């Protein structure tokens, strides 16, 4: 594998310009030509390294107390952080709270730029304000991009580029030498890259530097102006001892996850970057944590997990028993689900859309479930004209919930139609 990776690094991406964009270099100074070519080459190398990482997920597990690495694979591969970026935005917010530059009651204005970002957002209009307290909750649960953008602008004196520079400087000061940021939300940007090792450093420093703020990451839901905002971090429910931190997804990054969990006196931090599905990233993380706690001789409290392959993910994971935690006084515990899943004969659902990409269907179904605050996001494989398509659905709804779901999704400009109980069948994945 080391030889294969070395060969991949030596294969430099070529530069090709369509005919419409070709030009003669004879009229340009050689120094300018060299600079242009070097810039194009470096951009190509960054994209190629990130794309190579997507084909081979990377991970690392560290002891939160000592920083000792217990397990790693491609931990220094360049990756896109997606919404894991918000961990650094929160780090700088916690610094500002500690230094009393802001308070939990400070009102953050929703600028036009912040209100226009897509797709996961609270949806506040330009000119509205949100407290720092609410902003933190919106970022750790919904991963709201509009709120992260507004908070970054506020802390950066009104400038996103300035805040991004602050993020990058702080990352390098923490030892995250392979990380750079271009925005506070994690929305796609070519130069916004990181590694599993760097994200583990950031997660560990959040725990060590701000022990009084870490509890935010265990929030499973909170009430925001009359509606429940629900976390999409499945390990908070599925893995005993897990009490944070963050999920992330973009098409280029794949599914990313950072989890901190404690068994007895041992706390571990796991980072998994670039898996293709939610079940894969969740299962990979649970298996890695189980292995780590076993190595540390911690009390065995994790669920039973199938064996991991040598490189990627899992072959299907056993269903873990849900764990109930009271993370905050304003976030009452979610009632434990029934021992048996709802009978499909009595369960309603809605379909949001169908896609040629499974990743997109997984993303949209999860987005719809977060908007509704109820139901279960699933993806069902079907065939159209002999080609596979992936249906993004939200199931396990009551009849009343299903009939109000489509108007709620329509307000967020998402298509929707009802699925009566007879049309809820088996699903391929979430």
- Tens of pLDDT along the chain (430 residues) come to 333 333 332 222 332 333 333 333 344 454 444 444 444 444 443 444 444 444 578 999 999 999 999 999 999 999 999 999 999 999 999 999 999 999 999 999 999 999 999 878 899 999 999 999 999 999 999 999 999 999 999 999 999 999 999 999 999 999 999 999 999 999 999 999 999 999 999 999 999 999 999 999 999 998 998 888 889 898 998 888 999 999 999 989 999 999 999 998 999 999 999 998 888 898 899 999 999 999 888 875 544 433 333 333 222 222 222 323 333 323 333 333 333 344 444 578 888 877 777 777 888 888 888 888 888 888 888 776 567 778 889 988 888 888 888 888 877 777 777 787 754 443 332 3
- Provide the terminal-to-terminal Cα distance of the chain, rounded to the nearest Å: 31
Active-site residue (options: 58, 121, 143, 218): 143
Which one of 83, 180, 365, 429 is the catalytic residue? 83
Q: Give the model's pLDDT for residue 258.
A: 98
Residue 191 contacts by C-beta under 8 Å, 6 or more apart in sequence?
46, 180, 182
Q: Which pLDDT value is given to residue 263?
A: 93
Please tell me the predicted confidence (pLDDT) of residue 344: 43
Active site (annotated) includes residue 143: yes
pTM: 0.62
> For residue 312, what pLDDT is reported?
30
Tell me the C-alpha distance between 202 and 235, whole Å. Answer: 19
Query: Which pLDDT belongs to residue 346?
Result: 58
Active site residue 413: no
Please give the pLDDT value at position 137: 96
Structural domains present in the chain: 66-295 (3.40.710.10), 344-423 (3.30.70.1070)
58 part of the active site: no
| Residue 262 burial (CB count, 10 A) | 16
Please report the pLDDT score of residue 289 as a whole number: 93
pLDDT score at 256 = 96
Give the chain's radius of gyration (CA, Å): 22
Catalytic residue among 58, 65, 66, 86: 86
């Amino acid at each position: 594998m080391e030889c294969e990776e070395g060969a991949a690094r030596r294969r430099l991406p070529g530069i090709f310009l369509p005919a419409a964009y070709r030009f003669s270099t004879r009229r340009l100074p050689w120094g300018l030509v060299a600079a242009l070519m070097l810039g194009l080459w470096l951009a190509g190398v960054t994209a190629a390294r990130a794309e190579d990482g997507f084909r081979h997920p990377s991970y690392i597990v560290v002891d939160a107390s000592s920083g000792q690495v217990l397990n790693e694979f491609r931990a220094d591969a360049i990756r896109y952080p997606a919404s894991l970026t918000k961990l650094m935005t929160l780090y700088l917010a916690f610094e500002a709270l500690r230094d009393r530059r802001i308070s939990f009651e400070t009102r953050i204005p929703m600028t036009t730029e912040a209100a226009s970002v897509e797709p996961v957002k609270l949806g506040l209009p330009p000119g509205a304000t949100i407290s720092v307290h609410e902003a933190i909750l919106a970022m750790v649960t919904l991963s709201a991009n509009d709120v992260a953008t507004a908070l970054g602008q506020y802390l950066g004196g009104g400038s996103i580029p300035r805040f991004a520079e602050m993020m990058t400087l702080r990352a390098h000061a923490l030892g995250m030498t392979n990380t750079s940021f271009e925005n506070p939300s994690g929305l796609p940007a070519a130069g916004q890259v990181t590694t599993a090792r760097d994200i583990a450093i950031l997660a560990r420093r959040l725990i060590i530097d701000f022990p009084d703020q870490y509890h935010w990451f265990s929030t499973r839901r909170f009430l925001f102006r009359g509606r429940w905002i629900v976390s999409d971090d499945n390990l908070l429910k599925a893995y005993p001892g897990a009490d944070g931190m963050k999920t992330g997804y973009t098409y280029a990054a794949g599914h990313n996850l950072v989890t901190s969990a404690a068994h007895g006196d041992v706390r571990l931090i796991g980072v998994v970057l670039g898996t293709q599905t939610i079940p894969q990233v969740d299962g990979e993380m649970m298996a890695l944590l189980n292995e780590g706690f076993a190595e540390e001789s911690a009390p065995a409290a994790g669920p039973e997990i199938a064996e991991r392959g040598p490189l990627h993910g899992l072959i299907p994971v056993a269903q873990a028993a849900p764990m109930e935690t009271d993370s905050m006084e304003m976030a009452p515990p979610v009632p434990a689900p029934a021992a048996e899943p709802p009978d499909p004969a009595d369960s309603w659902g809605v379909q949001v859309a169908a896609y040629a990409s499974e990743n997109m269907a997984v993303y949209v179904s999860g987005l719809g479930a977060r908007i509704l605050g109820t139901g279960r996001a699933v993806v069902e494989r079907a065939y159209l004209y002999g080609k596979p398509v992936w249906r993004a659905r939200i199931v396990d709804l009551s009849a009343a919930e299903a009939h109000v779901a489509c108007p709620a999704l329509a307000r967020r400009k998402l298509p929707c139609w009802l699925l009566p109980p007879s049309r809820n069948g088996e699903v391929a994945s979430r």
